[in-house]
Amino acid sequence: MEEISREGYLAYSGHKQTAELQPIYKKHEKVLGRDALELAVEAFESARDGSEEKRSARYLLEWEIETQAAKPLAALDEREIEWENSAFVRSPDGRVIQYQAVPIEIANTRDRSTRLAIDAARAKLVEKEHAPMRQERLEREKDYIESIGIASDYNKSFEAITGISLSGLASECELFLRDTQSMWDDTLPRVLKKSLGIKPAQAKRSDALALFRAAEFDDAFPGTAMETVIRRQVSEMGVDPTAGGRIIFDIGDREGKRARAFCSPVRVPDEVYLVLRPHGGQNDYNTMLHELGHALHFAYARADYPFEFRWLGDNSVTESYAMLFDHRMQDAGWLLRYTELQKKRIGKFLRTAGFEELHFLRRYCAKFLYERTLYSGEVPWAQLPDLYVSLLTGATGFEYHPADAFVDVDPRYYSSRYLRAWQLQSVLDEHLVERFDDDWFRNPNAGRWLVGELLAEGQRESAEEIAARAGASSLSFAPLARKIEKLLVA
Ligand SMILES: [Zn+2]
């Protein structure tokens, strides 16, 4: 894991041309062989429910399965990456746009008919070339997981291995979509009319991309101040933002650095890289806070914990800590103290944030419900695109394209981790406010609790156990709905 993580860090931060992963897998072949998988299955099945052995075995088994499933799919992945890197779309004025850059181009295109034309060209290409590749990958992955025989089908085996209830989460998503429907119906038409000058019946997914690209507040988030200001906040919480030098900030511009920020835990907890290529504005603050949450989590994990508690576990947990930090961008006190957003603009900023949060959550709920049906095998592959369009369009109010039904799928239910992280983050935030006040983010007592009680545990505990520690009886969307309601009337 250290070698893979280091290779990933070097390649994606622009220090190296490519990540040479095959030799690492070859060198450690035995760790990911049939025998290792059988051993992990046996350990999992024989450990007593609720014991520490069961936790260890669960995380190790999940890791074995994920990593082993990736092996037979590697050739498909390589083919897809090659395709993505070489495909292009032609805009109506004849310009050639790299496939990977199309979403950014769509978001930045102010002229609506051009925007729709680029998206139509994109969808045509996806339908013909990208979607069939992804469909094949999904089918093969489903077959592989089911062939291991942990449970009778893909969804049951995911539940058995991870301990996450897909059906429970699905009911919560349905409830959230129902509960927030009128809030969404009240908000969306106004925003569409004001920002894009269109009616709800006309709204397409490409319009959503353009809508959320808005740079209206970027001047309040100067790039030059970002690192200093965010470090200052963490210090005011009584926490060393570098965790005693274990976190290395790599946030300068460098050729070959990925556009998307990431956190590379090369040695947990001793060597953690936070990598960001600055683009400027509000979005950088958001990603920096998010990745810092991950970095602090890895760098403050207990060094004496076994591998599986430091490296593996339920990623809903690490995502929730990342979200706890990035959600400071919805916190009036934080914004006023650490950014140049002043009192007179704060209301509008928060209303916009509430709108985005609600859109994003509704999209993720619908996406998860769709993915659950996809993996259930209950709906034939040929009919999935129609279901995708009806679920996603219904939840967001933006019309989705059937071509994206196999492309817009998170591998191995990462959507469920995000949704659970969202829930846990809101539980933690409410608890921190209750216990340490609104400005817990600059309270050393809060910092002590966060580091000592939560971050130090790595991912040993489940999201439910951590919620319980913060006084919540269960994970749910209720605190999120409450928060969004407040933001929308800020
Ligand atoms: Zn994350």
Ligand 1 center–CA 321 separation, angstroms:
9
Ligand 1 center–CA 291 separation, angstroms:
6
- Interior angle at CA 34, CA 31 and CA 35, nearest 5: 70
pLDDT higher at 280 or 9: 9
Does residue 229 surpass a pLDDT of 90?
yes
pLDDT at residue 330, as a whole number = 97
Q: Distance between CA 475 and CA 424 in Å, rounded?
A: 6
Ligand 1 center–CA 360 separation, angstroms:
15
CA dihedral 12, 13, 15, 19 (to 10 degrees): -10
Ligand 1 center–CA 136 separation, angstroms:
27
Ligand 1 center–CA 328 separation, angstroms:
15
Q: Distance between CA 13 and CA 35 in Å, rounded?
A: 35
- For the stretch 101-134, pLDDT in tens is 898 899 889 999 999 999 999 999 999 999 999 9
pLDDT at residue 243, as a whole number = 98
Q: Distance between CA 326 and CA 318 in Å, rounded?
A: 13
Ligand 1 center–CA 295 separation, angstroms:
10
Ligand 1 center–CA 318 separation, angstroms:
7
pLDDT higher at 70 or 370: 370
477 Cβ contact partners less than 8 Å away, ≥ 6 residues apart = 172, 173, 175, 176, 179, 361, 422, 423
Q: Distance between CA 351 and CA 358 in Å, rounded?
A: 11
Ligand 1 center–CA 466 separation, angstroms:
18
Ligand 1 center–CA 242 separation, angstroms:
18
On whether the CB atoms of residues 315 and 417 are closer than 8 A, the answer is: yes
Residue with tokens 């699905």, as numbered in its chain: 170
Residue 239, helix vs strand vs coil = coil
Ligand 1 center–CA 152 separation, angstroms:
31
Kindly state the average pLDDT of the residues 347-372.
97
Q: Distance between CA 31 and CA 33 in Å, rounded?
A: 6
pLDDT at residue 10, as a whole number = 92
Q: Distance between CA 394 and CA 174 in Å, rounded?
A: 12
- For the stretch 12-37, pLDDT in tens is 898 988 888 888 888 998 998 899 99
pLDDT higher at 318 or 215: 318
Beta bridge partners of 247: 272
* 483 CB burial (10 A radius; 0-12, 13-18, 19+): middle
410 Cβ contact partners less than 8 Å away, ≥ 6 residues apart = 367, 371, 418
Beta bridge partners of 89: 97
Ligand 1 center–CA 7 separation, angstroms:
19
Ligand 1 center–CA 381 separation, angstroms:
30
Q: Distance between CA 267 and CA 407 in Å, rounded?
A: 33
Split at pLDDT 50, 70, 90, the class of 451 is very high
On whether the CB atoms of residues 421 and 319 are closer than 8 A, the answer is: yes
At 323, list the tokens: 């979200």
Q: For the ranges 73-77, 171-175, 326-330, 468-472, which has the lowest average pLDDT?
A: 73-77
CA dihedral 251, 256, 262, 266 (to 10 degrees): -90
Most confident of 17-31, 73-87, 242-256: 242-256
Ligand 1 center–CA 275 separation, angstroms:
12
Ligand 1 center–CA 114 separation, angstroms:
33
Kindly state the average pLDDT of the residues 273-292.
93
Ligand 1 center–CA 324 separation, angstroms:
11
Ligand 1 center–CA 424 separation, angstroms:
14
Distance of CA 364 to the CA centre of its chain: 10
Ligand 1 center–CA 45 separation, angstroms:
31
Does residue 356 surpass a pLDDT of 90?
yes
Does residue 376 surpass a pLDDT of 90?
yes
Task: Give the phi and the psi of residue 255 in degrees, each rounded to 5.
Answer: -60, 135
Kindly state the average pLDDT of the residues 313-325.
97
Ligand 1 center–CA 116 separation, angstroms:
31
Ligand 1 center–CA 272 separation, angstroms:
14
Ligand 1 center–CA 160 separation, angstroms:
24
Ligand 1 center–CA 189 separation, angstroms:
31
Q: How far apart are the first and last CA of the chain?
A: 45
Give the side-chain half-sphere CA count within 13 A for 199.
2
Split at pLDDT 50, 70, 90, the class of 214 is confident
Whole-number percent of the chain with pLDDT over 90 = 83
Ligand 1 center–CA 8 separation, angstroms:
16
Ligand 1 center–CA 379 separation, angstroms:
31
pLDDT at residue 187, as a whole number = 95
Does residue 253 surpass a pLDDT of 90?
no
Ligand 1 center–CA 296 separation, angstroms:
12
CB atoms within 10 A of CB 376: 14
pLDDT at residue 260, as a whole number = 84
Split at pLDDT 50, 70, 90, the class of 280 is confident
pLDDT at residue 195, as a whole number = 92
pLDDT at residue 101, as a whole number = 85
Give the side-chain half-sphere CA count within 13 A for 460.
19
Q: Please state, rounded to an integer, the average pLDDT across all residues of the chain.
A: 94
75 Cβ contact partners less than 8 Å away, ≥ 6 residues apart = none
Beta bridge partners of 267: 271
- For the stretch 255-265, pLDDT in tens is 888 878 899 99
At 91, list the tokens: 């805009």
Split at pLDDT 50, 70, 90, the class of 449 is very high
- For the stretch 175-213, pLDDT in tens is 999 999 999 999 999 999 999 999 999 999 999 999 988
82 Cβ contact partners less than 8 Å away, ≥ 6 residues apart = none
Distances, alpha carbon 40 to alpha carbons 28, 55, 149, 332, 458, in Å = 16, 12, 13, 47, 21
Ligand 1 center–CA 395 separation, angstroms:
24
Ligand 1 center–CA 322 separation, angstroms:
6
Ligand 1 center–CA 487 separation, angstroms:
23
Please state at what angle helix 343-376 crosses helix 154-162, rounded to 10 degrees: 120
